[in-house]
Structure 1
Amino acid sequence: MQSMNKTGKTFHVQPFTVERGKIKEFAMAIGDDNPIYYDVEKAKEQGFRDIPIPPTFPTVMEMWSGLDFETLIRELDLDPLMVLHGEQEYEYLEDICAGDEITCTAKVISHVEKRRMTFITIENRFSRDGKIVLIARSNIIERNQ
């Protein structure tokens, strides 16, 4: 059964402020003991404005903005029992640090049906002061019956 093509669908996303405490929690959760995620002075010694986010922290930013997996499943009308997170990539254009006010636009940029699977790519463009600082792309795979 073919589903309706969702290319172009956009999602409601909330703006948010990156917080030092959330960066620290995330670094602790993934076992990263790099001092730049815990100590502002260490981060500044390495050339950052403040404590930077770890490379995979955008997943947390997506959740803060309202793009958690449950919301995506519901908004894309997918069967959660048939869904797999296929791939994730981050393209950093600038550093993101604690204190940054971030906005996000999220959009389905690709919806392809192949044999018994549907592949959906979502692109999130994160901005600070109107300038894109990060592009995150995730692929969701739904097995069709």
Structure 2
Amino acid sequence: MFDFLWHLRGSVALRPTDTDQLVFDRLEMLLDRQRKNTRMRTAELLTFEYPLFGDLFAPNWLAMIIYDAGRFWIDGNERERVLRYDLRSLHGLVFCSVAAALAFFFGLISGGFLTAISLAAAAFTWLYGMNMLLAFARVPAAIRKAVISA
């Protein structure tokens, strides 16, 4: 019901001249640049799974850094094909929720219940909300650029 909070779903229209294999090759190169390990690749599906804390020294400026798992597949016929994707940021959501809980407890100790709620909401909004806003802008553009590149 609320999985839109930790999922990014979208699609990219594909050129008719690009084969499925070429599209998945380009996606694998994108995932490699984003330091995401390909978990499974078939003729119809490409998946990755990489925990948020898999590489603590990974650069945090990568577009897909918040996503810990995802899948890509191609829908359509020979004339109109679409790459669809479903990316998950559940580990990021859990991490930010724990940080918000810590902020809540520090606010409870220092200023009472209203302060605690305010700090928790601010911490969660800043940590998770800002990461997701950046991801909503950057990730579809990165996928589109990787798939449509000549």
Same fold (TM over 0.5): no
**Structure with bigger RCO (C-alpha 8 Å, 6+ apart):** 1
**Structure with the greater alpha carbon radius of gyration:** 2
Higher strand share: 1
Q: TM-score, normalised by structure 1?
A: 0.29
